[in-house]
Amino acid sequence: MRAQEEVAARAGLRDQVRPIEQGKPANYLPGPSDQTLRDPAVPFRWKGLSANDAELLAGFLEVMPSSPDELHTHVPVGLVPVTHDDMDDADTAELMAVLWPRRVDAACRWGDEWYLIECKPDAAHYVVGQMLCYYFWWVRERPDLPAPTLVLVTDKCDDDVLPVLESLGIVVVELGRRRERVEVEDGLA
């Protein structure tokens, strides 16, 4: 009986949760913008990326036949994170957007083609849902841009997850722990 009450109480929380209005946090603009545009030749200025992610992205860009026409990092997608009714003031919304962002590691454009790039040193099963959400939000929020190709850049991908990613059309670029072996899909850029 207690378990049923707990489940009912948790289900009731759904009624108290709502997305914040998209415009509340200052400077929120989904997708690539002037705020997210970066110079591909200057990795230490790739705002929002961890050192590991920046290293992976740099390794990926090094093996590409040409530099991207545009490189954006820490690109916002999706609505601002969900909050409870007691956290709907502007300061809390701003804090949530900083602490819990929904941001693509990188978005690159070569010609007319866009690529959403997620960098994971050790890619596991959770990256599948993450990348599919990013894709959905990009398409929903930026209908002015073509649907992107999803690219996972990693040192190592879980052998059980690799066929899942490939079956969904997600391009997987394994750089390897020491960058010994690089596999780039034909026609990626």
Domains of the chain with bracketed CATH = 17-174 (3.40.1350.10)
How many alpha carbons lie under 13 Å from residue 147 in its C-beta half-sphere?
A: 6
Cα–Cα distances in angstroms (integers) from residue 21 to residues 30, 60, 70, 89, in the given order: 13, 36, 29, 11
pLDDT for 5 equals: 59
Distances (CA, A) of 149 to 53, 132, 178: 19, 11, 26
**Geometric angle at alpha carbon 22, from 16 and 28, rounded to 5°:** 135
Q: How far apart are the first and last CA of the chain?
A: 58
CB atoms within 10 A of CB 1: 5
Structure tokens at 28: 């929120």
pLDDT of residue 18: 43
Written as tens digits, the pLDDT of the chain (189 aa) is: 455 555 555 444 444 444 445 444 555 678 999 989 999 988 877 888 888 999 999 999 999 999 999 999 989 888 765 555 555 666 766 666 555 568 899 999 999 999 999 999 999 999 999 999 999 999 998 999 999 999 999 999 999 999 999 999 999 999 986 444 445 555 454
Structure-block tokens of residue 29:
């603009």
User: Within 13 Å of residue 52, how many CA atoms lie on the same side as its CB?
Assistant: 11
What is the per-residue pLDDT for 35?
A: 87
Is this model's pTM higher than 0.75 or not? no
Per 3-state DSSP, what percentage of the chain is helix, strand, and coil (rounded to 5)? Answer: 35, 25, 40
Can you tell me whether residue 133 is helix, strand or coil? helix
Among the listed residues 130, 79, 140, 129, the one whose alpha carbon sits nearest the alpha carbon of residue 104: 130
Residue 19: the pLDDT is 45
